[in-house]
Amino acid sequence: MVGEMRVGGEMLWFNNVKDFGFIATEAGERLYVHGSGFRDGVGPEGRCAGRPVSFRVMGDGETARAEDVVLVEAPSPRRARMRRSGGR
């Protein structure tokens, strides 16, 4: 079922000048990703190591690569609420 199912992982690195990089899958695999493999042409800018991504795996073995890659927005951490004391 290669290519049919979306999987998650994180960016290892991406070189904007050379237009390629690598992604680590949740299973620990390292996949090649070309700049054209990002959905709508929206790839990472600047440092991206550790950024979560969602993608499809195309090919298998040494020819496996990430396609239809989407940078996943990490949820914002919740802010602590201020406690209001009734006695002040």
> What pLDDT, on the 0 to 100 scale, is given for residue 79?
76
In a domain? residue 83: no
User: What is the tally of structural domains in the chain?
Assistant: 1
The verdict on residue 23 lying in a domain is yes
**pLDDT at residue 1 in the model:** 45
- Cβ-contact 50, 15 below 8 angstroms: no
Residue 86 lies inside a defined structural domain of this protein: no
Residue 63 sits in a domain whose CATH number is 2.40.50.140
Boundaries of domain holding 41? 6-71
DSSP string, 37-60: GBGGG----S--TT-EEEEEEES-
Would residue 2 be called left, alpha or beta, if left means φ above 0 and alpha means ψ between -120 and 50 degrees?
Answer: beta
CA angle 69, 70, 75 (to 5 degrees): 150
Render each residue's pLDDT in the chain as its tens digit; 88 residues.
466 789 999 999 999 999 999 999 999 999 999 999 999 988 898 899 999 999 999 998 888 999 999 999 866 677 777 777 765 5
